[in-house]
Structure 1
Amino acid sequence: MISFPYKIKIKKFLSRIKLIKIYYLMGKGFLNDQHFLEVKKKSFQENSKRPFRSGIINYLLSLSQKPTFYLEIGVRNPDHNFNLINSTHKYSVDPGLEFEANPVDFKMTSDIFFKKLSNGEILSNSIKFDVIFIDGLHLAEQVDRDIMNSLKFIKDDGFIVLHDCNPPTEWHARESFRYRYTPAQHLWNGTTWKAFLKWRSSSLVKSCCIDSDWGVGILSKQQPIGEPTEFINHFFEYNSFNKNRKESLNLIDFENFKKLNI
């Protein structure tokens, strides 16, 4: 006969086995859920698209016959993009929150950088860039400010470039990067698409989005890359954006972009 203390231990052991089985079945069900698999598939498709942003930026810089000026906002590891850029003059801005080494020119936020630049405290307030690449905090409000500030320092025939404008699912477009327990897992585009969508309807710029590397958005004051569109998604709802994705972003593949008269 099994003594009472041993019965308690056996019951605890069996209850743990039951919990493990439940967790296993829940996890298995999640990993085999059709929605989860579809999001995973879209993540793979986006990761497979070429060229990367560095190739697109280098193409834009190559259009100039004069010495070029390039500014990158949000660098993190410079080997991922900044060091791959071919420009006569290159400048980088990053507060260093995500990459401890942070070997950039200006270790500060973009808001502080543009304020100092406007005041003539760094570089020159008359400087104009051929390309400004915005890849900092991926939240619409910040991206919107970065675009407004960049417009003051971009050449009339220059380009403002944004990364992560074409999130393939709502999970990729979540507002919080830290919440990773989603079908998109660690992959995150943030809400950059909202800021780009806002400027797509502005008469101040021409715009399009290269369907590669999670959506490389491009804005220009004068270059004929896409006329402003009527703004129909006033509440920035993802489902509405997804239904009208191509028109909303002026989505174009890179080979057709190179055929534009720029």
Structure 2
Amino acid sequence: MRLPFLRFRAFWPSRKTRTSDSIHFRGKRKTKEERAKSPKRTEVINYLISYLKRDVSYLEIGVRNPHENFNDIVASTKYSVDPGLEAKVNLADFKVTSDEFFDKLGKGDVLTHDIKFDVIFVDGLHLAEQVNKDIENSIKYLAEDGFIVLHDCNPPTEWHARESYYYADTPAGGFWNGTTWKAFLRWRFNAQLQSCCIDSDWGVGILSKKHKIGNPIPETNMFYEYSLLDANRKELMNLITFDELKQKLES
């Protein structure tokens, strides 16, 4: 017996519901794909340290849990900075914000004002304005042949790139890259720096004063629209594989 049309529609999801489901499915799929990629940031950082072939001074901004990265970094000298807002026990060497740390460093209140770090890993507050500040400050204390490394530079969807971490009822769920990508892109425009982004672990961005890892680009996407990033991320981010990074540095 054929069901009446109105009764049939009661069993069929609305177009809006189907669209919403597909967006959430895509978000979950993108998250799964990204989490499966390798290498992770730790391996990339340790490679850059070993590439320098000397006793290296390493600085990590934004530690939270040192077991996630800091403890596995192989450097002769290393320091960590974190205010401890997200940790039950703050294990950072300097228990302050990155702004406070660099201010104290400039005044000579911590370490020495003329110190140079060989590798600086920026993984603090994932909002473009703060990331940009951290990059600006890091460059002042970076060795001429050193590297600045950033995490979360390649958000797979606009939901991963949302501004608020706490708005988690999205297709990205609790996964969050923030707007780090905007700060990294801004420094891709800088004619004095080389840069690339490893297509793994949510995007591992690398900046260098010296090493030929990727030429700067003209200023494009000036309003930092995510749709333009999504359509042109390989060129805008200089998205490369880990093996391609090795080839660039070792050629």
Same fold, TM-score > 0.5, yes or no: yes
Cα shift at 1:31? 10
Distance 1:158 1:109 in 2: 23
Q: Secondary structure at the match of 2:155?
A: coil
Distance 2:63 2:95 in 1: 10
Cα shift at 1:261? 3.2
Distance 2:239 2:27 in 1: 20
Q: 1:234 to 1:157 in 2, by over 3 A?
A: same
What is the match of residue 84 of structure 1? Answer: 72
What is the match of residue 3 of structure 1? Answer: none
Cα shift at 1:203? 1.1
1:203 corresponds to which of 191, 199, 203: 191
Q: How does 1:1-262 map to 2 (within 5 A)?
A: 29=17, 33-262=21-250
Q: 1:247 to 1:119 in 2, by over 3 A?
A: same
Q: Which amino acid aligns with 2:87?
A: F
Cα shift at 1:35? 1.5
Distance 1:261 1:81 in 2: 23
Distance 1:221 1:141 in 2: 21
Cα shift at 1:30? 7.3
What is the match of residue 8 of structure 2? Answer: none
Deviations 1:213-244 (A, max 9, x none): 00000001111111101121010000011111
Q: Conserved in 2, the CA contact under 8 Å of 1:30 and 1:36? A: no
Distance 1:250 1:186 in 2: 27
Distance 1:94 1:261 in 2: 31
Q: Secondary structure at the match of 1:222?
A: coil
Cα shift at 1:78? 0.3
Distance 2:188 2:97 in 1: 25
Q: Conserved in 2, the CA contact under 8 Å of 1:46 and 1:214? A: yes
Deviations 1:6-40 (A, max 9, x none): xxxxxxxxxxxxxxxxxxx89xx579711111111
Q: Which amino acid aligns with 2:64?
A: R
TM-score, length of structure 2 as denominator length: 0.91
What is the match of residue 19 of structure 1? Answer: none
Distance 2:192 2:109 in 1: 28
Structure with the greater alpha carbon radius of gyration: 1
Q: Which amino acid aligns with 1:76?
A: R
Q: Which amino acid aligns with 2:88?
A: E
Deviations 1:179-226 (A, max 9, x none): 000010100000000000000010121100000000000001111111
Unaligned runs of 5+ in 1: 1-24
Regions of 4+ moved over 6 Å:
none
Q: Secondary structure at the match of 1:35?
A: helix
Q: Conserved in 2, the CA contact under 8 Å of 1:135 and 1:162? A: yes
Q: Which amino acid aligns with 2:82?
A: D
Unaligned runs of 5+ in 2: 1-12
Q: Secondary structure at the match of 1:244?
A: helix
Distance 1:104 1:137 in 2: 15
Distance 2:63 2:197 in 1: 21
* Pairwise CA RMSD: 1.6
Farther-moved stretch of structure 1 (33-42 vs 176-185): 33-42
TM-score, length of structure 1 as denominator length: 0.88
- Number of aligned residues: 237
Q: 1:96 to 1:251 in 2, by over 3 A?
A: same
How many percent of aligned residue pairs carry the same amino acid?
A: 57
Distance 1:256 1:137 in 2: 29
Q: Which amino acid aligns with 1:62?
A: S
